[in-house]
A and B are shown apart, each in its own frame.
Chain A
């Protein structure tokens, strides 16, 4: 899975929000708030096509968390991205 190219992430203060850019912003008009973990995963998925397993490994390499917590975080973020049709 990968983030569609017509979406970007914006840091506002300590928050991160995903918004549409270009023509997609005509139809996608909301903003999706992400936490730091979500933003980290977003950045990976905007550059590369990755599986959930690979995302879990990336989280484990970056943060001091156990595999179960990382897997939970990844599935939560993936659910949000899927629900909002941000993945290709």
Chain B
């Protein structure tokens, strides 16, 4: 994303960008969908909100809040399996709305909030599926290893 997102947010009151990366798939697709970021005012973010934050290494990240604690958030990408502890002061803004193809979705919409809740609720199932797939792939490699041609 832009090097001056903070500046754009302060000057314009919003920032629009295409999403980058697969970590928020399937909801936000790499370089296809567009998000509208609004600066964070006095209000606090809630569980399932989508904050845009900047890590100390300068990298911008847009993931989902799965827990709110005093002074920080527990955050995880919809398509990732690792939690991150994000101090509130890293957060620059939040996704207020997004465009998926021609569909315009506000993150306050009931339907969207239900989707976010459901996606988080089935996390253990998604995690297990990925683990099984990885395990099966390892077993397959181990079984086939003796039959592979040596270079």
Given contacts A19-B34, A20-B18, contact A29 B12 (CB under 8 A): no
Is A33's beta carbon under 8 Å from chain B?
Answer: yes
- Contact flag A10-B31 (CB < 8 Å), given A29-B1, A29-B2, A30-B2: no
Task: Indicate if A21 sits at the interface (CB-CB under 8 A).
Answer: yes
Q: In whole Å, how far is A16's beta carbon from the nearest beta carbon of chain B? A: 10
Please count how many residues in chain B sit with their CB below 8 Å of the partner chain's CB atoms. 18
Question: Do A33 and B2 form a contact, CB below 8 Å, given A21-B32, A22-B31, A23-B31?
Answer: no
Nearest chain A CB to B28 CB, angstrom units: 13
Q: Does A61 contact B (CB under 8 A)?
A: no
Q: Helix, strand, loop or mixed for chain B's interface?
A: mixed
How many A-B Cβ pairs are below 8 Å? 45
Interface residues on A, range: 10 to 19
**Contact between chains at A19 and B1 (CB < 8 Å):** no
> Which residues of B in the span 1-51 have a Cβ within 8 Å of any Cβ on A?
1-4, 8, 12, 14-18, 20, 31-32, 34, 36
Given the interface pairs A12-B14, A19-B34, the reply to whether A31 lies near B3 with Cβ below 8 Å is no
B99 interface residue, CB < 8 Å from A?
A: yes
Closest to B99 in A: A10
Contact (Cβ within 8 A) A21 B18: yes
Q: Are A19 and B18 in contact (CB under 8 A)?
A: yes
Complex Cα distance A76/B62, Å? 35
Bound complex: CA A22 to CA B32 (Å):
6
Within 8 Å CB of B2, what residues of A? 29-31
Interchain CB contact under 8 A, A12 and B18: no
> Which residues of A are at the interface with B, using a C-beta cutoff of 8 A?
8, 10, 12-13, 15, 17, 19-23, 25-26, 29-31, 33
A to B CB contacts below 8 Å, 28 in the list = A8-B34, A10-B36, A12-B14, A12-B16, A12-B36, A12-B97, A15-B12, A15-B14, A19-B18, A19-B34, A20-B18, A21-B18, A21-B31, A21-B34, A22-B18, A22-B31, A22-B32, A25-B17, A25-B18, A26-B20, A26-B31, A29-B1, A29-B3, A30-B8, A31-B8, A31-B15, A31-B16, A31-B17
Contacts A19-B17, A26-B31 aside, 18 further interface pairs with beta carbons under 8 A come to A10-B34, A12-B36, A12-B97, A13-B14, A15-B12, A19-B18, A21-B31, A22-B18, A22-B32, A23-B31, A25-B17, A25-B20, A29-B2, A29-B17, A30-B2, A30-B4, A31-B15, A33-B12
